[in-house]
């Protein structure tokens, strides 16, 4: 699974790119600030970073300077900031995209850079009986049925499937599925789990285990 981290202070930009990349089967992480991005970088270890240069607080260039690891970066920049371009390439930038840009173009460039780095193409299908997930289409098949899941439901289930047979506290699920900055009641998880169980039907609702006073877990049969 190829991980891409998007750093930009504008919500719309983040969301747009994120949406297009998810559709292509990437695992997407976003951060609205350079400071947070640095933290996330270490823990996520993304395969590529899309980095806005102009941000309040720490600039994209500073972020790039402070990343210890060698990771390809694509900078987003306003029209005609030629000096930045030079600095950026010195910092190991792989590419530049000038705002405003077409998301499709950005996705294409991301793919090019990843290919250059020998990253395997993104996964687009996961099989984890009884689940079959088509990531690009964001569709899930359980045994014969193909229940309709909303965005959050899908994300949560996908995360649990990727990490099956592991307990996650509500907090952990919040940070992994709802995201870093989400601040709200952790019991949304309960509600979403409930909705998922309902949609999975009597047959498979039991895959979603409650581990009392610890959290939730997706249990699937492992044939060791």
- Tell me: does residue 128 bind its own copies (CB under 8 A): no
- Whether omega for the bond prior to residue 130 falls within 30 degrees of 0, making it cis, is yes
φ, ψ for residue 101 (rounded to 5)? -135, 165
Among 15, 66, 90, 166, binds its own copies (CB under 8 A): 166
Query: Closest approach of Cβ 46 to its own copies, in Å?
Result: 14
Residue tagged 């285990």 (tokens): 209
Query: Closest approach of Cβ 214 to DNA, in Å?
Result: 6
- Tell me: does residue 105 bind its own copies (CB under 8 A): yes
CA nearest neighbour of 81 among 69, 89, 73: 89
Among 185, 203, 206, 221, binds DNA (CB under 7 A): 185
Task: Label residue 173 left, alpha or beta by phi (over 0 means left) and psi (-120 to 50 means alpha).
Answer: alpha
Stretch that binds its own copies, among 33-41, 46-54, 82-90, 199-207 (CB under 8 A): 33-41
In contact, 62 and 34? CB cutoff 8 Å: yes
- Tell me: does residue 125 bind its own copies (CB under 8 A): no
State the binding partner of 178 from DNA, its own copies, none, CB within 5 to 8 A by kind. Answer: DNA
- Whether omega for the bond prior to residue 100 falls within 30 degrees of 0, making it cis, is yes
Q: Strands of the chain (E only): list them.
A: 3-7, 27-31, 48-52, 73-77, 93-98, 125-128, 131-134, 139-142, 208-211, 215-218
**Interacting residues with its own copies between 183 and 222 (CB under 8 A):** 183, 211-215, 217, 219
Q: What sign results for the dihedral spanned by CA atoms 94, 99, 105, 107?
A: positive
Stretch that binds DNA, among 36-44, 81-89, 118-126, 193-201 (CB under 7 A): 193-201
Among 30, 31, 77, 192, binds DNA (CB under 7 A): 192
Burial degree of 13 (CB within 10 A; 0-12, 13-18, 19+): buried
Q: Could you give the angle at the alpha carbon of 89 between the alpha carbons of 85 and 92, nearest 5°? A: 145
- Tell me: does residue 115 bind its own copies (CB under 8 A): yes
- Tell me: does residue 65 bind its own copies (CB under 8 A): no
Give me the residues that bind DNA (CB under 7 A), please. 148, 150-153, 178, 182, 184-185, 187-188, 190-194, 197-198, 210-215
What are the residues binding its own copies (CB under 8 A)? 20, 23-24, 36, 39-40, 42-43, 102, 104-105, 107-109, 111-112, 115-116, 134, 136-138, 150-151, 165-167, 169-172, 174-175, 180, 183, 211-215, 217, 219
């Amino acid at each position: 699974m190829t991980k891409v981290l998007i750093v930009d202070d504008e919500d719309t930009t983040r969301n747009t790119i994120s949406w297009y990349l998810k559709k292509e089967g990437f695992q997407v992480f976003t951060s609205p600030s350079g400071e947070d991005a640095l933290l996330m970088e270490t823990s996520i270890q993304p395969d590529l970073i899309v980095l806005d240069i102009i941000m309040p607080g720490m600039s994209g260039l500073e972020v790039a300077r402070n990343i210890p690891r060698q990771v390809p970066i694509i900078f987003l920049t306003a029209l005609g900031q030629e000096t930045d371009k030079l600095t950026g390439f010195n910092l190991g930038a792989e590419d530049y995209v000038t705002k405003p840009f077409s998301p499709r173009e950005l996705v294409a460039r991301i793919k090019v850079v990843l290919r250059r780095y020998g990253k395997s193409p993104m996964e687009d299908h996961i099989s984890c009986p009884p689940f079959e997930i088509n990531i690009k289409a964001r569709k899930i098949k359980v045994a014969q049925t193909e229940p309709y899941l909303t965005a959050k439901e899908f994300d949560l289930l996908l995360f649990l499937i990727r990490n099956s047979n592991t307990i996650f506290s509500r907090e952990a699920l919040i940070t992994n599925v709802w995201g870093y900055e989400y601040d709200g009641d952790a019991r949304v998880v309960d509600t979403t789990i409930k909705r998922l169980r309902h949609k999975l039907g009597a047959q498979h609702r039991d895959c979603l285990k409650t581990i009392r006073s610890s959290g939730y877990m997706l249990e699937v049969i492992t044939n060791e």
